[in-house]
Amino acid sequence: MKPIRLAVITVSDRCSRGVTVDTTGPALLRLAEAELAAQVTTFICVPDEVPVIARQLRDLADGDDAPDLILTAGGTGLAPRDVTPEATLEVLERRHSGLMELIRRRCYEKTPRAYLSRGEAGTRGRTLILNLPGSERGATESLEALLDILPHAIETLRGDVQDDGREGATPTTGKVVRHEDAR
């Protein structure tokens, strides 16, 4: 598999003003590099403002060098300035709520607060966008919850996987994925 090209956007008023140091974004970068062999293309910090967040997501996903995966960190809670999901919904072409459901389900055992995250997931073009919590622990645990399926999701989104390996299927791309649950 080609390396996953990754962009991380930390959404934080205080970090964007330099009042606090962002530890969440760098933690996500380290985890993605170590566990997904991801290549980081962009790492930025923006304030909790819908137009700013949406513009960054569009610019990245629509660019000539669009990443395969954009992770946002922060702005997914219940505070009045937590607007990352609203900005993301303005940008997504196709929602994928199942990914966020999986994060919440898998993270629940560690903390029931996982269900307080309003994060969204979906695609724009061939880029997968995931909203993760702003805390370092919440963000890394959320990403860890998807590590087993993200490579396949990215390959499928890229168009690299078209053949599921069912008996009798004729490969058309040369990339056949055999699923244990395929019948």
Q: Which of 67, 75, 142 is nearest to 108 (CA)?
A: 142
Mean pLDDT, residues 115-135: 97
Which residue segments constitute the domains of the chain, with CATH numbers given?
A: 5-158 (3.40.980.10)
pLDDT of residue 183: 46
**Residue 51 scores a pLDDT above 50:** yes
Burial class (CB in 10 A: 0-12, 13-18, 19+), 135: middle
- The confidence band for 1, taking pLDDT boundaries of 50, 70 and 90, is confident
Please tell me the distance from the alpha carbon of residue 32 to that of residue 181, in angstroms, as a whole number. 27
* pLDDT digit string, tens, across residues 137-153: 999 999 999 999 999 99
Of 9-23, 36-50, 169-183, where does mean pLDDT reach its minimum? 169-183
Mean pLDDT, residues 98-107: 98
**Residue 163 scores a pLDDT above 80:** no
Residue-by-residue DSSP string for 73-116: ES--SSSTT--HHHHHHHH-SEE-HHHHHHHHHHHHTT-GGGGG
- Which residues, including other chains, have CB under 8 Å from residue 85's CB and lie 6 or more apart? 75, 76, 118, 119, 120, 131
Q: What pTM does this model have?
A: 0.91
